[in-house]
Amino acid sequence: MKIIKLSAIDSTNSFLKDLAQDSCLENFTIVTTESQLKGRGQQSSVWLSEPSKNLTFSVFVSFKNFEISNKKYLTFAVSLAVYEAIIEEIKHDVFIKWPNDILSGNKKLCGILVENSIQKTKIKYSVIGIGLNVNQTNFSEAIDKVTSVKLITQKKYDLDVFLNSIILKLKSRIRELENQDFKKLEDNYLSVLYKKNTPTMFKNSSDGLFMGIICGISKDGLLQIELEDETIKEFGIKEVSFA
């Protein structure tokens, strides 16, 4: 496992993607930075982090024979690895918000961005970006509903130790992925999915409100919500949010 430490970079994911194209990388190569200037989240959203207080890093993971049709299980594996590292410290009230944010209560702790390199029908490798609020305690008023591990536990953390914990759990979950233990990954993911089986008010992409119950994830990785008429509708990222 190779770790590249940078003092500042626009985006660890962009840096690692460029590195992967130009050289042969060791599996689980990590790029981490004290200050990420242009961190990216899902669908071009921005991830902001106070320098030297949090974990902002990306991991290169290569695959020998991983079909793109099974990519939702990669989302499950990565989310669960980060969730498990966090739950060891916070102990309770931690959830995965579809597809791969980590929450404490209803406040965001961590954002994850998975970018895949595709070759025909297979994922050749993935660059997994993780931004976890660890020791930061002050957040901009412009950012709503965020928290950190330190705010919850009142303890300061060694970032290198926390990073190592996440990587160990990621390696274990990727091993399950490669062994095609898909049912275990899905069962584990759904067991900690935020608001699953709970009547909830949602907002669609046109700002329409509706009541529904999260009941699962489709084969293509879409969020399945049971509506009041007992039909099930599927939504992609940015097509639905909590009202």
Task: Identify the CATH homologous superfamily for domain 3-191.
Answer: Bira Bifunctional Protein; Domain 2 (3.30.930.10)
pLDDT at 41: 53
Among candidate residues 98, 78, 76, the one with its CA nearest the CA of residue 235: 98
Give the residues of the chain that fall short of pLDDT 50. 43-44
In tens, the pLDDT along 95-150 reads: 999 999 999 999 999 999 999 999 999 999 999 999 999 999 998 876 779 999 99
pLDDT at 222: 98
pTM, entire model: 0.93
Is it true that domain 200-242 has CATH number 3.20.20.100? no
- Cβ atoms 127, 115 nearer than 8 A: yes
Report domain extents, the chain: 3-191, 200-242
CA atoms of 208 and 195, how far apart (whole Å): 19
pLDDT in the model for residue 37: 76
> What is the pLDDT, as a whole number, of residue 185?
98
Question: Burial code of 175-185, b = ≥16 C-beta within 10 A, e = fewer?
Answer: ebbeeebeeeb
CB 201 within 8 A of CB 209: yes
- Separation in Å, CA 197 to CA 74, 175, 216: 23, 29, 9
